[in-house]
Amino acid sequence: MIAMFRAVLYTQWKWSRLIVMLGTVAAFAIPLLSLQGAARGDRGALQAQELLRSVQSWGTLYPLLAAALGLLIAITTWAPDHRGRHIHALTLPVPRWQYVLLRFSAGFVLLAAPIAAVLLGAALATATATLPPGLQSYPIALAFRFALAVFVAYAVFFAVSAGTARTAGIILGVIAALVLVQVIASIANLDLDLVSVTQSLLVLGPGPLAVFTGRWMLIDV
């Protein structure tokens, strides 16, 4: 089982190393860049406001990066099997759930690198910065939230791309149908906002996607 995992992990690394490396660099850089110029000790309350605004605008990059990493790694996880019509995977002498688990965990293990990079970058950024009075840094909380977001994005896209082209087609079809209904509704001047309905269903509720929303603050009061 360990040998199998090593083998699967190796192929996953070979397929996605570029994405993982770029993602790791970005994950390390974002917290550092977000606190750029915060190292000065002569900041008053006004500058604190400014700093928070800057941190908040940089903060939108974390969920974007998490979603992008989850999507790209999930795609590389299944792309070669899809191309080979799964014949190779299906003829391996392991139960199918076990193979799926191997692939899933290999991808997630690689995602540990950018998660660690966020933690490291955030810790480094806050350690070298002198914060205005009244502000606190939350590097561990931020990294934890990033890890959670990466996991959710990866799991969702993994499940989507693990299916056949048909499953992916159905999902795209549903999205297209929503858009179409929305367009027709707007032409007919109906008071129907499907986008915000879907959004509130998926994101704002207590669903797992809620992790992407809200403010991602490395520095906060």
Q: Please tell me the number of Cα atoms within 13 Å of 21 on its side-chain side.
A: 6
Burial class (CB in 10 A: 0-12, 13-18, 19+), 148: middle
22 backbone dihedrals φ, ψ, rounded to 5°: -60, -40
| Smallest distance from another protein to CB 81, Å | 8
Q: CA 40, CA 46: separation in Å to the nearest integer?
A: 14
Of 41, 45, 46, 87, which one interacts with another protein (CB under 8 A)?
A: 87
Residue of 41, 42, 45, 91 that binds another protein (CB under 8 A): 91
Distance set, CA 56 to CA 35, 53, 61, 159 (Å) = 11, 5, 9, 31
Are the CB atoms for 46 and 132 separated by under 8 Å? Answer: no
Between 87 and 188, CB nearer to another protein: 87
Residue whose CB is less far from another protein, 110 or 125: 110
38 neighbors 135 (Cβ within 8 angstroms) = no
Neighbours of 219 (CB within 10 A): 27
**Does 166 interact with another protein (rule: CB under 8 A)?**
no
Contact pattern for another protein over residues 92 through 131, marking x by CB under 8 A:
xxxx--x---------------------------------
Please report whether residue 4 would count as binding another protein according to CB under 8 A.
yes
Which of 29, 33, 80, 124 lies at the binding interface for another protein (CB under 8 A)?
Answer: 80
Q: Name the residue nearer to another protein (CB basis): 46 or 87.
A: 87
Closest to another protein by CB, 5 vs 151, is 5
Burial 172-185 (b: 16+ CB within 10 A, else e): eeeeeeeeeebeee
Q: Which is nearer to another protein, 102 or 150 (CB)?
A: 102
Q: For another protein, give the closer residue by CB, 53 or 96.
A: 96
CA distance 95 to 75: 22
Q: Which of residues 9-48 bind another protein (CB under 8 A)?
A: 10-11, 14-15
Total site size for another protein, rule CB under 8 A = 21
Is residue 208 a contact point for another protein (CB under 8 A)? no
Task: Give the footprint of another protein on this chain (CB under 8 A).
Answer: 3-4, 6-7, 10-11, 14-15, 80, 83-85, 87-88, 90-95, 98
